[in-house]
Amino acid sequence: MFIIQDITFLLFNLITQGNDLLQSLIPTTPPFSSIFILIISFFVSLFSTGISKLMIDTEKLTRLTRESKKYNKMRMQMLKTTDTKLKLKYERSADRMKKVQSELSTMRLKPLMITFIPLMIFFFVFSSFFQWTIDPTTKIITGNIPAIIPFPLPENILFAIGSNGIVEGWGNVFVPQYIWWYFGGSITFGSIMQKLAGLQPD
């Protein structure tokens, strides 16, 4: 954990202090900062999908996923009926399905073990960079703003997702926290890429 923090601190210093050229290339105001973060999340998703594609046998993944779905469907049918034959068939398949589900989990975890640490370092570096503050009196938002939604939104759902405030040149808007903008892009791009790569079988 301390190694990750040290590397993150060094990378953040490189971006914010040690390299003026790199600092000047990172946009800090929307819409350019919003597009920049989406581009970053696109390449992060591409990298993660590429590693997964190399490490996972997609044909085997598809076969095991369909087998697992078939078993789950049988389980739902069993819960809705008193058919003893179906219950017996379900119970006979239990050991096989535990093995299938365990194998599916292992297949998906292997790429994550390789990509998790570098992706977290990358995330924390930019999370530290895109920081902003809101004046409690004037509601003026200043700092490195990751994105802007051009109308007010609820500030809290399950967590604090951003703030409504005034941004110069934009007026009264909603500014999301960096984490939600980044992960929103990553989840969207990641889902599309994994589908195209055969990593999310039907």
What is the average pLDDT across 133-137?
Answer: 91
User: Is a pLDDT exceeding 80 seen at residue 2?
Assistant: no
- The C-alpha angle 9, 13, 19, rounded to 5 degrees, equals 150
**pLDDT range class, residue 198, cuts 50, 70, 90:** confident
User: Is a pLDDT exceeding 70 seen at residue 13?
Assistant: no
* Cα–Cα distance measured from residue 175 to residue 147, given in angstroms and rounded to the nearest whole number: 6
* Cα–Cα distance measured from residue 7 to residue 122, given in angstroms and rounded to the nearest whole number: 10
Contact partners, residue 47, CB within 8 Å, separation at least 6 = 115, 119
Reported as a single tens digit per residue, the pLDDT across 178-195 is 988 998 898 899 899 988
Place of tokens 């409504």: 164
Is the pTM value of this prediction over 0.85?
Answer: no
Written as six digits, the tokens of 149 are 């939604």
User: Is a pLDDT exceeding 70 seen at residue 1?
Assistant: no
User: Is a pLDDT exceeding 80 seen at residue 57?
Assistant: yes
Written as six digits, the tokens of 1 are 């954990």
* Cα–Cα distance measured from residue 113 to residue 62, given in angstroms and rounded to the nearest whole number: 21
What is the average pLDDT across 27-55?
Answer: 89
User: Is a pLDDT exceeding 50 seen at residue 119?
Assistant: yes
What is the average pLDDT across 73-89?
Answer: 77
User: Is a pLDDT exceeding 90 seen at residue 79?
Assistant: no
- The C-alpha angle 167, 171, 173, rounded to 5 degrees, equals 75
Alpha-carbon distance values, 98 to 6, 44, 66, 103, 169 (Å): 40, 32, 14, 9, 57
* Cα–Cα distance measured from residue 34 to residue 146, given in angstroms and rounded to the nearest whole number: 5
Per-residue model confidence (pLDDT) at position 23 = 60
